[in-house]
Chains A and B, each alone.
Chain A
Amino acid sequence: MNDTFFDPHQRATIAAAMARMIPTDDTPGAAEAGTIDFLDGYLSGTDRIYAAPDGNGFEVLTGRRLDAWTQRLEVVRARYVAGVRALDAAAERRGGRFVDLSGEEQDDVLREVERPEGREQEADAARAKVALYGAPVEAALQQTSAEVDLGFVPLLALHTRQGFYADPVYGGNRDHVGWKVIGFPGPASLAEVHQGRYTTIDYFAEDRVHPGTEGLS
């Protein structure tokens, strides 16, 4: 399995950008979680889209699903290739390639690429929200976003988050660092859930019975 899509420069650039999206501080960030491996694996081909439900390997796509994912990956890859170019072009005006800039300069470049013109700002901010919340109205949403509709920076933010928090079977969230940072006691492996062994009952209220319902029949 060929599990990389980026050339070394693209890979270094995207890894650097991801490290700004979820920075390393006193806790691990995108770099430690291996979000770049997650993304590179995803972009490498259609054989890493769905982990097998028990975590043992990946599903082989066929038919319409294969067509849709082939199509989607093409769009998303093109956006990354263009995105790296856009980062370097904006970086050049600051005197180097994106990877050569300081962290703060990289943030500036990312913001510039995210919102190219003043007029576009609002629309882009809205699109960034779509990336993360599924739709512009944040919190309570049930449906997910269409990756192909996202601009480069929102897409990168989404994939960084996915690489930080998805099950480690996809190559990111190494040793569950993403979950540890925020205190999510997820399952040890997909197999735990698959076999019905993963329960969150310990995180329910100490008093398991709803108030006021004891005497009712």
Chain B
Amino acid sequence: MTSQTTAGTRHDPTDVLIIGAGASGATAAKVLTESGLRVVALEKGPWRTKETFSGDELASINRYDLWPDPLLNPRTHRTGVDEPATTQLFCPVPQMVGGGTVHWQGWLPRFTEEDFRFHSVVGDVPGASLADWPISYAELEPYYTAVEWAFGVSGQAGANRYESFRSKGYPCPPMPMSRYAEKYHRGAAALGWNTFPTPQAALSQPFDGRPATVLSAFAQQHGDPSGTRSSALNVFVPQAVATGRYDLRPDSVVREITVDARGRATGAVYEDAEGRLHEQRADVVVLACGAVETARLMLLSRSAAHPHGLGNENDLVGRNVTFHEFSSAVATFDDPIYAWAGGGYVSASSFEFYGHDDSRGFAGGGHMATSGVGIPLPINWSLPDRPAWGAEAKRVDREHFNHSMAASMVVHDLPQHDNRVDLDDEVVDDWGLPVARITLTPHENDLAMGRFLIDRSAEILEAAGATSVQKVYPDRVTGNCSHQHGTARMGNDPETSVLDRDCRAHTVENLFVVDGSSFPTGTGANPTLTIMANAWRVAERIAAGRDAATRG
């Protein structure tokens, strides 16, 4: 491993260096540049324009046009430290300007007040390394509102009976109701359960100079050729660029965070598209690579001052990783549902079983919502029991493609000390760097919660009049929803956490982490609204700290 590499082009130092231009990196860039700071951002992938996206299921989903190519960016996975790790595409997220927001459909629920003190609410769970967050819902609430209004989230304040306090409604009314959402509302209502239009990163009406979102079928897992969806690429990146202080360099792969003799971060060494090395120095370094890659980069950055990797004095970097798990009860109906309409995720949700309830026999709960079955487009659509090929497979496609839908859920998987990301000792990526190795066994609580939520989901479908319902219980954590958290948890105690409450590394005073790495628990809801709100909060703290420093 090269340490404190100085080969290659040296660039003029900047105020803040952000690694990654995805959801969190772009949010931080917007806030920092708007506060007057100069930001250089290094992004591994390309900076794509809307003209390069298309309604092409084959390219987008099956041929890695947006997904990381597993031959270039492998990861390895094993269920325990004694197992051999196998190469697989575990929890991939697109690598390009905009990151994971480029091809999502953006369900953006808020976490609840209880999520931030989960350990206190549920108590100790054997085998789980639960911790309360060092920040509260109330502290984050203004930032939720800020992101919702900057982004233009479409939703309905008050419709989710279990939502915590909000200071302001949504900027846009809910998206139009899909047929699958209609079924979901109806089924849940028959059971007396609360549902609400899923808050979405899309515009139900023109907002802030942007036109309403086009309701294509090629949305989830496709880029947006119309440029009308709300993503980091379409919203925060242009806002940061508009300040004139955002120097965003795509195709720049950071190999290492450099440090000085005292262990302070000095900048980063990166490789450009032609394989040339560069060095960028900065007063403050912000990591925003997503929880897996941020942990990997910290572990790759070994130096005399941080021999076990940056911020890893207590062997905590990469531990307690959580991924959620997404699974569904799947139903067919006599009448057509067209669950690909709008891309299959213009949905209805329920937090009926989100909050903790001792009587269920497991800790916590999760977000339930409706969607199309699988990737609800022809190539990748399927029902759980359809054979791979033959006359029967064709019959299932023909009879059920337009008549099926899913009631899905997000498992709130519990953090465990031995579930972790570290560096593989054999496999390297196309840049020659050791890849992230994921060691992960689900907790019994995760599986029990998954069964419970799938059972409730099936009941909704039955109550909605389904002709058949199949349950797909999650029996493993596969990383299938591209949610990543926990690898550098924040806390007040440097012995048990990597970051402080401002997401600054306890042992590297000018290093911050703004992605989901900081989350002490994964919660049961889609994380990115909270990731962006927290990035906004941390960016404000960084800017305030710089102000104080210049004044003093």
Give the B-binding residues of A (Cβ under 8 A): 20-23, 25, 27, 29, 49-51, 53-55, 63-65, 67-68, 71-72, 107, 110, 128-129, 131-135, 137-144, 146, 148, 153-154, 156-158, 160-162, 164-167, 169-170, 178-179, 181-184, 186-187, 190, 192-196, 198-201, 203-205, 207-213, 216-217
B179 x A142 contact (CB < 8 A):
no
Contact A200 B389 (CB under 8 A): no
Which of B260-268, B360-368, B374-382 touches A? B374-382
Which residues of B are in contact with A by a Cβ distance under 8 Å?
Answer: 51-59, 61-65, 67, 69-72, 88-89, 91-92, 156-159, 169, 174, 176-179, 181-182, 185, 189, 196-197, 214-218, 220-221, 225-226, 228, 273, 326-328, 330, 338, 340-342, 346, 348, 371, 373-375, 377-380, 382-384, 386, 388-391, 393-394, 397-398, 401-402, 406, 408, 430, 472, 474-476, 478-482
Per CB-CB distance, the 5 closest pairs between chain A and chain B, nearest first, are A193-B55, A196-B226, A165-B378, A53-B54, A203-B338
Once bound together, how far apart are the Cα atoms of A118 and B329, in whole Å?
A: 31
CB-contact partner of A213 in B174, B330, B371, B474, under 8 A: B174
Bound form: Cα–Cα A196–B214 in Å: 7
Closest to A51 in B: B56
Closest to B342 in A: A200
The secondary structure that dominates the B interface is loop
Residues of A within 8 A of B169 (CB): 217
CB distance from A197 to the nearest CB of B (A): 8
5 new A-B pairs (CB below 8 Å) besides A134-B375, A179-B378, A205-B179?
Answer: A23-B391, A142-B326, A192-B55, A203-B179, A217-B158
* 24 A/B residue pairs, CB under 8 Å, sorted by A: A50-B65, A51-B59, A68-B69, A68-B72, A132-B382, A134-B374, A134-B375, A135-B480, A138-B384, A142-B481, A143-B482, A153-B388, A157-B388, A157-B389, A165-B377, A165-B378, A166-B58, A167-B57, A183-B402, A200-B338, A200-B342, A205-B182, A210-B156, A213-B159
Which of B52, B58, B174, B430 has a CB less than 8 Å from the CB of A53?
A: B52
Residues in chain B near residue A204, CB distance under 8 A: 176-179, 215, 338, 341-342, 346
How near does chain A come to B469, taking the closest CB pair, in angstroms?
A: 12
| CB–CB B181/A140 < 8 A | no
Q: Which of A140, A195, A210 contacts B472 (CB 8 A)?
A: A140
Q: Given A51-B59, A210-B348, decide whether A205 and B382 contact each other with a Cβ distance below 8 A.
A: no
| CB neighbours of A20 from chain B (8 A) | 389-390
Q: Are B174 and A131 in contact (CB under 8 A)?
A: no
Bound: A131/B479 CA distance, A:
17
Q: How many residue pairs, one in A and one in B, have C-beta atoms under 8 Å apart?
A: 259
Q: How far is the CB of A60 from chain B (nearest CB, A)?
A: 13
Contact of B197 with A210 in the complex, beta carbons under 8 Å? yes
Q: What chain B residues lie within 8 Å of A27 (beta carbons)?
A: 398
Enumerate chain B residues within 8 angstroms of A170, measured Cβ to Cβ.
58
- Which of B159, B389, B393, B401 contacts A184, CB < 8 Å? B401
- Measured between beta carbons, the chain A residues less than 8 angstroms from B402 are 182-184
Q: Are A199 and B216 in contact (CB under 8 A)?
A: yes
A143 B62 Cβ-Cβ under 8 A: no
B395 vs chain A, min Cβ distance (A)? 9
Q: How far is the CA of A23 from the CA of B342 in the complex (A)?
A: 30
Q: Name the residue in A64, A107, A135, A144 with the highest tally of chain B Cβ atoms < 10 Å from its Cβ.
A: A144
Which of B61, B69, B196, B480 touches A65 (beta carbons < 8 Å)? Answer: B69
A214 to B330, CA, bound (A): 29
Asked if A143 and B55 make an inter-chain contact with CB atoms under 8 angstroms apart, the answer reads no
Residue in A25, A139, A181 whose beta carbon sits within 8 Å of that of B406 in the complex:
A139
A-side contacts of B196, CB under 8 Å: 210, 213
Contact status A141-B61, CB under 8 Å: no
Let me know if A137 and B338 touch, CB within 8 A: no
The distance from the CB of B327 to the nearest CB of chain A, in whole angstroms, is 5
**Is there contact, CB below 8 Å, between A201 and B89?**
no
Whether the Cβ atoms of B67 and A143 lie closer than 8 Å is yes
Q: Which residues of A contact B70 (CB under 8 A)?
A: 146
Q: Are A194 and B55 in contact (CB under 8 A)?
A: yes
Given A142-B482, A154-B388; A133-B89 close (CB under 8 Å): no
Tell whether, in the assembled complex, residue B177 and residue A208 are in contact, meaning their CB atoms are under 8 Å apart. yes
CB of B15 to closest CB in A, whole Å: 32
For B90, give the chain A residue with the smallest CB separation: A143
Question: If the complex has contacts A134-B375, A204-B341, A217-B158, are A107 and B390 also in contact, measured as CB distance less than 8 A?
Answer: yes
Given A146-B88, A199-B215, A200-B216, A210 and B67 contact (CB-CB distance below 8 Å):
no
A169 to chain B, nearest CB (A): 8
- B185 surroundings in chain A (CB, below 8 A): 210-212
Cross-chain contact B379 with A165 (CB below 8 angstroms): yes
If A162-B62, A166-B379, A200-B338 touch, whether A194 touches B71 (CB-CB below 8 Å) is no
A108 smallest CB distance to B (angstroms): 12
Beta-carbon contact of B393 and A165 below 8 Å: no
Please tell me which one of the listed residues A29, A137, A160, A212 contacts residue B478 in the complex, with CB atoms under 8 A apart. A137
